[in-house]
Amino acid sequence: MIKYLKTHKRDIAIFFFVFIVSLIMCSAFLRPHYTHETYKIINIGYKDYSDLYFLKEGRPFTAMLTMIADLINLKIEIYILLSFIGALIFLSLSVVSVYNIFKHKTNNKILDFIFVLVSFITIFNYLAMEHVYFIECSIMSLGIFLSIKCAKIVIYNEKNKYIKTFLLGLIGVFCYQGSLAFLPMIVIFYKLFFEKDTLKQNIKDIFKISIIYIILMLLTIIYSKILFGVTRTQIGAEPFSIIEVWKWAIQLAINSLGVIP
């Protein structure tokens, strides 16, 4: 344990620095905060919401966590807080992972510091509020962390890298489908920016990663379709018409899609 701490002391220092900074940045979320989905959960309960939404949307891990909260009768305010802290931990670990992907390409201290900043902005950008806002944010952030670990496996050219990437990505995509986008994004950026001389190999790697990405995303659709007969991709699948626009405008503005009773 002591040897591990000495070997990874830089990574540990970066993790705690990022975690504290992110905690200060997102301190408003330490107080109870409620999205429209949270109100719906309060109204119908953890279990019913998991059955009706999380499971059908291809998020079994979120459903499992929420059902555990139901079993131990966890107050929703406590669930929100614990999930938020969990999200910051996974996102901070993600920053460290992104940094480790890039740092071995330089011994320059200035560039090293820049890579820390770039890694931080990659994860904690202005679009990242979704990763700390919702009640299921801890599982969503776990998905991001796993996606980045997949990218690291490919970039470090580990043995059986594509099998490992597929299996780890499979867990990540069922945490949250959107999190898997970090996998091709980081791999493509790294290959094109740092490995320009191996263009043919880069194209092969990017193509294989793209195939894995597509297959994993399709698996979530197949999962929902086979088990529940519906998928999230069917939302908005109706042909455009003024009548449909008017009907759903009423649903959103007046009936609130059943979110607010």
What are the CA-CA distances from residue 210 to residues 94, 146, 151, 169 (Å)? Answer: 21, 17, 12, 12
Predicted confidence at residue 235, as pLDDT, reads 46
- pLDDT tens for each residue of 103-143: 876 677 788 888 889 999 999 987 777 788 899 999 999 99
Percent of the chain with pLDDT over 90: 46
Per the CB < 8 A criterion, the answer to whether 177 and 147 are in contact is no
Report residue 229 as tokens. Answer: 């007969």
Q: Is the pLDDT of residue 257 over 70?
A: no
Predicted confidence at residue 249, as pLDDT, reads 78
Phi/psi zone of residue 159: left (φ > 0), alpha (ψ -120 to 50 degrees), beta?
beta
Query: Whose CA is closest to 150, among 119, 179, 178, 128?
Result: 179
Q: Provide the CB-side half-sphere exposure for 131 (13 A, CA).
A: 26
- pLDDT tens for each residue of 62-105: 999 999 999 999 999 999 999 999 999 999 999 999 999 988 76
Question: In degrees rounded to 5, what are phi and psi of residue 107?
Answer: -115, 5
Count of CB atoms situated within 10 Å of the CB of 102: 22
Handedness of CA 79, 142, 113, 124 (dihedral sign): negative
- pLDDT tens for each residue of 39-52: 999 999 999 999 88
Single-letter amino acid, residue 135: I
- pLDDT tens for each residue of 157-215: 888 999 999 999 999 999 998 899 999 999 988 888 887 667 778 888 888 999 999 99
Count of CB atoms situated within 10 Å of the CB of 164: 15
What is the residue-averaged pLDDT of the chain?
A: 86
Taken as a whole, the chain contains a residue count of: 261
